[in-house]
Structure 1
Amino acid sequence: MAPEDSFSSAPLSISQVVTLKLTESNYLQWKNQFESFLSPQMLLGYVKGLIPRPASTRSVTGVEGVTEEPNPEFLKWVRNDQLVMAWTWILGSLSEAAIRVVYGLQSAQEVWSALAKNFNRVSTSRKFELQNKLGACLKSGRSMEDYLSELKQVFDQLDSIGFLMSDLEKIHGLLFGLAKE
């Protein structure tokens, strides 16, 4: 399937596939759902910058010599890029706070990059914030499944910003949050 024809089989509402509204705490889950939606439709390249914007015009040689005319590939690219970015897709899956981050941006790639920079920020303070969250994560009356799920979310967030934890560190974090029993 060619990228320019990809969206014809796509659902009109992203909420059927991406069940989360992007917030400060669920970037990785949202990103995973969104990429899973775009990839089989050959549209992931628009947000990752792998499908470059073609020139808006092209040179055509005819009886009158070389002339410039609108490039149909450019029009297809703009249509798909704007569809991916449209309210029904990326913008339609954002919380109000996330929409403020991308207000005024013009392409799906710009929006995608701004969201990653804001919600998956890589900094020492973000690392400490996640490490503190890990230290404060206690099982205390919750099911083991809920406790492990919260731990995994913190481990994944640390991993996504480049701060890998060894298995031993993860085990220590898990055991630290358990009660004596």
Structure 2
Amino acid sequence: MVTSAQLQILQSPITSLISTISSSVTVKLDDFNYLTWNFHIELLLEGHGLMGFVDGSHPCPARFNVPISEGSSVPSSDVSSSTESDEFKVWKMHDRALMQLLTATLSPSAVSCAIGSSSAYDMWQRLKEQFSIVTRATIFQMKSELQNIKKGSISIYLQRIKEARDYLFVAGVQFNDDDIVILTLNGLSSEYNTLRSIIRGRENVTSMKDL
């Protein structure tokens, strides 16, 4: 007989996601692609209402249903007489299934980092701490690259600037819109002089999206 807890895990979106994860997320997390991996995984989890397991907003419920002492309104202190709650069983099964799902998107080096995780939240934090860290030398290099990007195709040029800004943002380095716009304009050739003059003469700061 299928219990209510087992039925809920069978109906969980995680069950079907595990079998299709290789086609849903083609990126395997490694030392160089945390930003791309994180983007794909967050979209997947948010799209299926599962983000709470990894961001801590859907924590593990109490494990036991604590019985009330006879003739008293106070819960009994006798843990041996307590039973595991269905809420805990369901949460635990969902959480373990989600850990399996995340593991399927990891490279061998990332799997070794995840081993020993006690929950999906714990695994998420370990991976973030390990792979989102960017060294000071790398930050310096990325800043230099951002300032030295030159225009080829205008669409590729703007995309490269956005990618560099996004990677620096993950590393904790933030740029104001006006700083990014200035960097972008400085990399344009003389054919864009009119555009540069118009944008620099605007009273309000132009966002990267508007640019």
For normalisation by structure 1, the TM-score amounts to 0.77
Q: Counterpart amino acid of 2:180?
A: K
Relative to its length, the structure with more strand (as a share) is 1
Which of 10, 21, 27 is 2:16 aligned to?
10
Q: Distance in 2 between matches of 1:146 and 1:53?
A: 45
Aligned-residue sequence identity (percent) comes to 29
Residues 1:8 and 1:52: Cα distance change in structure 2 (over 3 Å): closer
- What residue is the counterpart of 2:51 in the other structure? 44
Q: Name the stretch that deviates more: 112-121 or 130-139.
A: 130-139
Report the equivalent of 1:78: 92
Coordinate RMSD, CA, aligned: 3.0
Deviates more, 1:127-136 or 1:76-85: 127-136
The structure 2 residue matched to 1:134, chosen from 146, 151, 154, is 146
Q: Structure 2 unaligned runs (5+)?
A: 1-7, 192-211
Q: Does 1:112 align with 2:124?
A: yes
Give yes or no for the alignment of 1:26 onto 2:38: no
Secondary structure at the counterpart of residue 67 of structure 2: strand
Partners of 1:104 and 1:48 lie apart in 2 by 18
State the 1:148 CA deviation. Answer: 2.6
1:116 deviates by 1.5
CA radius of gyration, larger in: 2
Aligned residue pairs: how many? 174
- Cα distance in 1 for partners of 2:184, 2:112 equals 36
| Alpha-carbon distance in 1 for matches of 2:63, 2:132 | 33
